[in-house]
Structure 1
């Protein structure tokens, strides 16, 4: 009986760990050391692609800010509600071929995202400029 319980516990825990995905709400950190959160992004699937929408800005004085430097359909739209992550496709353990919009400067970068191997509550978001890149770590919003 004891071994059956241990086996079932292991199987349930294994499934929870494996089933972690990029979908859900993520905290964009302003300061990693202090844990200060800048905003919340909701990552969702739409027509087979993964996207992420800005759903909350922590600094209430910036809630009505517009994307003044954006181009195209995002030009002069409220930053709150913008889709910042677009068109990611799953490729093994990563989501690739997507873009990330930086609403501070309006620039769009090629990007990929993936769950950190050792911690399913950390999402790596990497933006590229040519061969150069920057990776940010977002934290899963545990509700």
Structure 2
């Protein structure tokens, strides 16, 4: 306890804020009774070998849930910051992929999130979408589909545990660098 208090007294306000965010995220992640599970947080998509492909931040904005690409794990020699959504339309045309809001309009219904859209930044295609949170809040099934859910594809994302890095990603303003990519 003395070490903890000493760490707080010797920390900058920004470090204290980060510690509080990590602490609150850890508290949220605990399985206490009465805690309501939501998709809010940082999620990871991994390939078939378990190698991370990207981190996505899901957050509630004015009653709807949106998803943003917050971290990319490029292959050797690739530069993720240089990637742009060249086939996207509208205000997302040529926007950087890192920071792109690619899930929009999801309405929460218990552990399900429906009625939204998901953008594939590789080809600019937009699909209807739904997300289903697992009962323990540790995985999120994200499905993009055409006219009906039968014609679609599901990815399973896993919640990224609370850490200083995830706290930093959670404190960034949602939607920055997502509109104009000039």
> 1:1-143 residue pairs with structure 2 within 5 A?
13=31, 15=33, 19-29=36-46, 31-32=47-48, 34-59=49-74, 61-117=79-135, 119-131=136-148, 132-143=151-162
- Deviation per CA, 1:67-125: give whole Å up to 9, x if none: 011011110111111101101101232110001111111111100001124x4211000
Q: TM-score by structure 1 length?
A: 0.82
Deviation at 1:13, TM superposition (A): 4.0
Larger relative helix fraction: 2
Bigger relative contact order (CA 8 A; separation at least 6): 2
Query: What 5-or-longer segments of structure 1 have no aligned partner?
Result: 1-11
Q: Number of paired residues?
A: 128
State the alpha-carbon separation in 2 of the partners of residues 137 and 13 from structure 1: 21
Structure 1 pair 13–69 and aligned structure 2 pair: CA distance change class (3 A)? closer
More strand by share: 1
In 1, Cα distance between equivalents of 2:50 and 2:31:
28
Partner of 1:8: none
Cα distance between partner residues in 2 of 1:61 and 1:85: 23
